[in-house]
A = this chain, B = another copy of it.
């Protein structure tokens, strides 16, 4: 019997971080709400108790479940018969490990924002904590929730691309093209601060998404990489541009370009995979479309929700083809599948899912670590073990 074996209906959810100023906290809340599988009932929404209180009230949380800090929250919620069954951790990177350990130790499931942690030792500690806990751990690499990314993964797995040769990943933004961290942007402040972000800047913030998505779709791992990290904005303390060459398992080659100074780019996550029999191309800003090319100029435009896409392996649509789903829907799919796993867990069942795991998160932090080491060695080839 598990801790929550008598629970029924929507999952009681708590949140750590995600106060008024935050961007990603609101996203997590909408994602949790989309399919009606969670109720947000508790929170330690800010490291500043006053702000936590104000934010909790603004969200309509009961007064007695607005906590000044995550430790208090973990203890109190674990003690309540109606305590939270899961917690969303949406703090800056350096503050993922402590609350995750606290809640996992109480058997409360953790849904954690990416990257897993700011440092590799933290990541290892968290992986260990998750392994030792009976509770679930889900990392919100939300782009894996896009239906066409599931189609892409299924097509690769089914051999539609043949042997993979090349992977070109890129993630280009421009919101750090100038020194936003000195102009009052909270988002920019912590993301360019090694103490809160870890040793990776752009490579940690968005490069990990690209890395994760590449592995999700292709199943390939990096054998060694050569990374050239760079800071274009004067005074910045972390990289804002990264160019990485990859040698992948099975003899494939690849590259990841991650940049936050690419003027005119918004959220340009893009994947291209080339195999002997076919190729896939996808752009996050038009996420409903997956291009499938075959030799001889055969080029298909697969759209979410069509019979053709479903046959290719697409899943998770909420509305018919041509009614565009977007970022929030993909994010919500992660939450909803986590809900399925949590419900199964109530009765002691383990379900196979596509959800990003703590091991995926550890791999991501190891990737950042290898990039930083490679770059420090003038882009020397560096193995990932």
Contact B307 A296 (CB under 8 A): yes
Q: Which of A92-100, A119-127, A269-277 contacts B (4 or more CB under 8 A)?
A: A269-277
Contact B321 A327 (CB under 8 A): no
Contact A325 B323 (CB under 8 A): no
**A294 within 8 A of partner (CB):** yes
Given contacts A297-B306, A299-B303, A325-B326, contact A263 B287 (CB under 8 A): no
A76: min CB distance to chain B, Å: 24
Complex Cα distance A288/B285, Å? 9
Contact A264 B268 (CB under 8 A): no
Q: Which of A29-37, A41-49, A189-197, A355-363 contacts B (4 or more CB under 8 A)?
A: A29-37
Chain A, residues 211-242, CB within 8 Å of chain B (1/0): the string is 00000000000000010101010000000010
Complex Cα distance A175/B306, Å? 11
Instruction: Name the residue on B nearest A330 (C-beta).
Output: B324
Q: Which residues of A contact B (CB under 8 A)?
A: 9-10, 23, 26-27, 29-30, 33-36, 60, 161, 165-166, 168, 173-175, 177-178, 226, 228, 230, 232, 241, 243, 245, 247, 251, 253, 255, 257, 259, 261-268, 274-279, 281, 284-288, 291, 293-303, 305-309, 318-329, 378-379, 381
Instruction: Name the residue on B nearest A311 (C-beta).
Output: B296
A144: min CB distance to chain B, Å: 15
A377: min CB distance to chain B, Å: 11
Contact A266 B326 (CB under 8 A): no
Pairs A–B under 8 Å by Cβ, sample size 8: A23-B319, A23-B320, A165-B241, A228-B253, A262-B279, A263-B279, A263-B295, A323-B326
Copies per complex?
4
Collect the chain B residues with CB atoms within 8 Å of residue A265's CB: 274, 279, 293, 322
Contact A319 B328 (CB under 8 A): yes
Contact A34 B30 (CB under 8 A): yes
Collect the chain B residues with CB atoms within 8 Å of residue A288's CB: 285
Given contacts A33-B33, A60-B9, A326-B329, contact A263 B243 (CB under 8 A): no
Complex Cα distance A161/B261, Å? 13
